[in-house]
Chains A and B, each alone.
Chain A
């Protein structure tokens, strides 16, 4: 009975998909964090979105005779979300790439942009092209054409590509001197120039790209309808009006419209779609970079743990032996670090403190994780120190050991044995929490896997490889800890 109702439920769920075509609601996905001119919350009514992508979506919905409804999706997950069927249409400054076209159905381009190089005012005469930036770091948004261009330039021009999860911090880090240039869409570059002073955008385009509307790969029918609607809006000037309104109209657009309307063929041909390597080939290509990322994860985790352990021991000792003031201060520290998200702490250390100390990303990640875990470690050591039997301390005192000697020779070593199991546990947790530092542009194992997955358009192989690498790091550690514990906890002959 229960089994049958389960299948009924499955049928109902499965049945939802075909009904979408008749759905009066047109669900369209985008990332509201993208900001103006693409989309942003209306300053007058934050529950509503405004922007040129919002208006293009509304135009398409109107032509389809359906009501638009916005679905929030993280920018990096738009393709996967389209495949899953989270929305009917995706548009949010989505770039036209061969990789994307192999995963989802994409419309004709509706906007042409240039990848442009933005530098600090002082550098505008010496950093004019990628070639001028040999040995320097260039920032961009991860998973974009610009990022691909920079990765290629790493080999060609000896630059270092730095990937960000958003398009605001590349420019703020440029001003801070953490990077020496930013390569992004001219739309984003223009916006950052309006927001920040002291920046200069080079007029020559490094590359040219287009924004497209995406649909689920099987939904070619809807995609073709969108193509028709976009073409007619190009002909009658409605599309131009939208971009005029958002100050994004420029001389590049009429050319694009002419080509789209004339050829009706893929303008994307500029980026040859042919000879895309198979998934197996791509996986092999990605393996070295996955190993490298795993090494970064391991190095970061070990160093952070070393910091957490030494600081944790200091805090625990202070809390057990210190005076009232010391104890109150250290308790405050522990509560603050345990009571707030580590993600927030990472942001504060990397971006918040940037005006005072300009930490490199890896150092900030190490510091953030280390300071956070120190709070947890200190609690483990404190309770372990307090769990050492009083008799051990009395025996040491009578033998004449000083307090420091008791801590170093007797109490500490015994507490360490008690702390080992929870410490191992924390180290494994840290190994996984280290994936959070990708928000600080550190490309560790999870981030590399994400990039890999976006590139081959599947999470299956990258997910399995990534999990295997994490396990390869955490399992031996657990094994070692268990062996040590067994050795120390040999049964006594009764």
Chain B
């Protein structure tokens, strides 16, 4: 599967620069993502990975550079499900009101998307009644409902235990197998090693290293990548 030839470009970022006040937080990032890829953005806190993701989503105004992308879906770290609607309605709302799909069709599709990500049985639950993992699945289904060529996920593993992380990884791999493209940020080198097809390491607003995850994360070339690998196991131990 990993040997399959890369298909057309889904996202192309060129010379992206972005300021927060007078401080430049993204200092010339180039990034290309092709169809069916699962690209991980890694970096220490403050390296700019979430900012790049938000800029791609159109949530950050940037000073210089260009971002070429057709349409994106996004799964936020804290999900941001619509609090006043059931899981099912969270998923069909945009197809009905944005794409103009007939309500019964949109509902049927929403139910099948929820089934697909494994939370079909929670369709009538409200966001406040869902566990963190369930809410994340609903958020993925909501993002997929408008069929974005590129799906962005901000720290998808952050609030999941190792077993749930593996379930998520498999689900994402399945999506990628269906021809969807994924770009996600992560702190977790194990998860990235196991599931990403490519890793891009950011440090101080620049891409410092990128390539095949096993290679990059086993024999890091850049100091920032080494630091990342030292910090992460320690953090995980501290969490337990």
Given A397-B58, A490-B129, A493-B131: A409 and B97 interface contact (C-beta under 8 Å): yes
How far apart are the CA atoms of A391 and B72 in the complex, in Å? 16
- Answer yes or no: A401 CB below 8 A from chain B CBs: yes
A478 contacts across to B, CB distance below 8 A: none
A490 to B128, CA, bound (A): 8
**How many angstroms between the C-alpha atoms of A82 and B141 in the bound complex?**
77
Q: Does A486 contact B (CB under 8 A)?
A: no
Chain B residues with CB below 8 A from A401, complex form: 94, 97-98
The reply to whether A395 and B76 contact each other, CB–CB distance below 8 Å, is yes
Closest Cβ of chain A to B113, distance in Å, is 14
Q: Does B208 contact A (CB under 8 A)?
A: no
Contacts of B72 in A (CB 8 A): 398
A397 in contact with B84 (CB, 8 Å): no
Whether the Cβ atoms of B80 and A395 lie closer than 8 Å is yes
| Chain B interface SS verdict (over half) | loop
Q: Report the nearest B residue to A402, measured CB to CB.
A: B98
Residue in A392, A410, A488, A492 whose beta carbon sits within 8 Å of that of B129 in the complex: A492
Say if the beta carbon of B73 comes within 8 Å of chain A. Answer: yes
Which A residues lie within 8 Å of B73 (CB)? 398-399
Tell me if A417 is interfacial: C-beta within 8 Å of chain B: yes
CB distance from B74 to the nearest CB of A (A): 5
Residues of B within 8 A of A160 (CB): none
> Do B142 and A399 have beta carbons less than 8 Å apart?
yes
- List the A side residues contacting B78 at CB < 8 Å: 391
CB-contacts of A361-410 with B (<8 A): 389, 391-392, 394-401, 405, 409-410
Which of A392, A394, A405 interacts with B83 by CB under 8 Å? A392
The interface residues of chain A lying within 8 Å CB-to-CB of B97 are 401, 405, 409
A11–B179 Cα distance when bound, in Å, is 94
Contact (Cβ within 8 A) B82 A410: yes
B13 contacts across to A, CB distance below 8 A: none
Is A413 in contact with chain B by the CB < 8 A criterion?
Answer: yes
Please, how many angstroms separate the alpha-carbon atoms of A79 and B76 in the complex? 72
Task: Let me know if B57 is at the binding interface, CB within 8 A.
Answer: yes
Please state if A398 and B128 are interface contacts (CB–CB under 8 Å): no
Nearest-Cβ distance from residue A225 to partner chain B, whole angstroms:
75
If A490-B128, A492-B129, A493-B129 touch, whether A399 touches B98 (CB-CB below 8 Å) is yes
* Contact in complex: B128, A395 (CB < 8 Å): no
Indicate if A414 sits at the interface (CB-CB under 8 A): yes
Q: How far is the CA of A390 from the CA of B231 in the complex (A)?
A: 31
Select B76's contact among A391, A409, A414, A488, beta carbons within 8 Å. A391
Q: A-facing mask of B76-89, CB < 8 A → 1, else 0?
A: 10101111100000
Report Cα–Cα, A426/B98, bound state, in Å. Answer: 36
Instruction: Give the complex CA separation of A401 and B145 in angstroms.
Output: 13
CB interface residues, B 175-231, toward A, < 8 Å: none
By the criterion CB–CB under 8 Å, are A391 and B84 in contact? no
Interface residue tally for chain A (C-beta within 8 Å): 22
Q: Is the CB of A409 within 8 A of B93?
A: yes
A416: nearest residue on chain B (CB-CB)? Answer: B84
Question: In the bound complex, how far is the Cα of B82 from the Cα of A397, in angstroms?
Answer: 12
Interface size counted on chain B using CB atoms at 8 A: 26
B59 beta carbon closer than 8 Å to chain A: yes
User: Can you list, as one digit per residue, whether each of B123-144 has a CB less than 8 Å from chain A (1) or not (0)?
Assistant: 0001011010000000000110
CB distance from B177 to the nearest CB of A (A): 24
Residue of A397, A399, A492 with most partner-chain B CB within 10 A: A399
In the assembled complex, the Cα of A391 lies from the Cα of B80 at a distance in Å of 6
Is B146 an interface residue, CB under 8 A from the partner? yes
- Which residues of B sit under 8 angstroms from A396, Cβ to Cβ? 82
CB distance from A248 to the nearest CB of B (A): 70
What is the chain B residue whose CB lies nearest that of A492?
Answer: B128
**Chain B residues, CB < 8 A from A399:** 73, 93-94, 98, 142-143, 146
Task: Return chain A residues, CB-CB under 8 Å to B80.
Answer: 389, 391-392, 394-395
- Across-interface contacts of B94 in A (CB, < 8 A): 399-401
Q: Which of A400, A413, A491 counts the most chain B CB atoms within 10 A?
A: A400
Give the shortest distance, in Å, between B89 (CB) and chain A (any CB).
10
Closest CB of chain B to A447's CB: distance in Å?
42
Question: Which residues of B have CB within 8 Å of A400?
Answer: 71, 94, 98-99, 146
A411 shortest CB reach to chain B, Å: 10
Give Cα distance in the complex from A375 to B238, angstroms: 53
B residues less than 8 Å from A392 (CB atoms): 80, 82-83
What is the bound-complex CA distance between A345 and B19, given in angstroms?
51
Q: Give the distance in Å from the alpha carbon of A488 to the alpha carbon of B143 in the complex.
A: 25
Complex: A93 Cα to B45 Cα, angstroms:
85
CA distance A389 to B99 in the complex (A): 25
Tell me, in angstroms, the Cα distance from A391 to B82 when the chains sit together: 10
B-facing residues in A405-464 (Cβ within 8 Å): 405, 409-410, 413-414, 417
Known A400-B98, A401-B97, A409-B93; judge A395-B74 contact (CB<8 A): yes
CB A491 to nearest CB in B, in angstroms, measures 8
Which of chain A's residues have a CB closer than 8 A to the CB of B59? 394, 397-398
What CA separation (Å) do A399 and B143 show in the bound complex?
7
Question: Would you call B82 and A395 a contact (CB within 8 A)?
Answer: yes
Question: CA–CA, A399 to B142, complex, Å?
Answer: 9
Chain A residues with CB under 8 Å of B128's CB are: 490-492
Instruction: Kindly provide the distance from the CB of B81 to the nearest chain A CB, expressed in whole angstroms.
Output: 8
Min distance, Cβ A164 to any Cβ of chain B, angstroms: 49
The chain B residue sitting closest to A491, CB to CB, is: B128
Q: How far is the CB of A399 from chain B (nearest CB, A)?
A: 4
Cα A492 to Cα B126 in complex, Å, equals: 9
The answer to whether A398 touches B74 (Cβ under 8 A) is yes
Nearest residue (CB) in B for A391 is B80
Residues from chain A with a CB closer than 8 A to the CB of B58 are 397-398
A317 to B143, CA, bound (A): 28
A417-B84 CB under 8 A given contacts A395-B74, A398-B59, A409-B93: yes
List of B residues within 8 angstroms of A405 by Cβ:
97-98
Q: What is the minimal beta-carbon distance from B221 to any residue of chain A, in angstroms?
A: 35
Knowing that A391-B78, A400-B98, A488-B84 are A-B contacts, what are 4 other residue pairs whose CB atoms are under 8 Å apart, sorted by A's residue number? A395-B80, A399-B146, A409-B93, A492-B128
| A-B CB contact pairs (8 Å), 20 listed | A389-B80, A391-B78, A391-B80, A392-B82, A394-B76, A394-B80, A395-B80, A398-B59, A398-B74, A398-B143, A399-B93, A399-B146, A401-B94, A414-B82, A414-B83, A414-B84, A417-B84, A490-B128, A490-B129, A491-B128
